Amino acid sequence: MPGCLPSPLQQPLPLRVRGVPADPQKFAVNVAPSRIDGQGAFAAEPIPARRKIGEIRGESISVREARRRAKGQARIMIVEVSERRAIDASRSGDALRFVNHSCAPNATLRVRQGRVEIYALRDIAAGEELGVNYGESHHEGRLQCRCGAPGCAGRL
């Protein structure tokens, strides 16, 4: 009937625009001062174990360029995703780029198809700082670890 509003069941579903990727951030994350180092990423809501929290996005660059950019930098937001490519998240707006290292992590970083994804290893409470084990890093054991976790390795 003209002039009648459709019922909620007849409302069209929002369409996904072709060429625009879905939001890779699955859980809300805030950035705040960290007791570990500088700024940190904190769960803004409870995150269940084994769930994808989101992705670290940024500029795709060569590993050679990534290593050039990393020289002399105090904080580096670059992840090597293959032997040839890296993601530089330095200018990204993603809160997950602030995830600090922890020797007792509550999350893990996975590289899949050139994407840097972060998953919860266990249930994470709202307000809890997210931490991943960086593993091998460009620091090559020269940087003191400040995670404060029991059994901390002491160096990155």
Question: Which tens digit of pLDDT belongs to each residue from 57-91?
Answer: 999 999 999 989 988 777 788 999 999 999 999 99
Residues 111-130 have pLDDT tens digits of 998 899 999 999 999 999 99
Within a domain: residue 96?
Answer: yes
**What is the DSSP code (8-state) at residue 4?**
P
Per the CB < 8 A criterion, the answer to whether 38 and 75 are in contact is: yes
Residue 2: the pLDDT is 52
Q: Are 102 and 132 in contact, with CB atoms under 8 Å apart? A: yes
Q: Give a yes or no: residue 1 inside a domain.
A: no
Q: Is the distance from CB of 114 to CB of 80 less than 8 angstroms?
A: no
Give the total number of structural domains in the chain: 1
Is residue 9 domain-resident? Answer: no
pLDDT band at 30 (very low <50, low <70, confident <90, very high): very high
Handedness of CA 52, 141, 90, 87 (dihedral sign): negative
Q: What are phi and psi of 104, to 5 degrees?
A: -125, 70
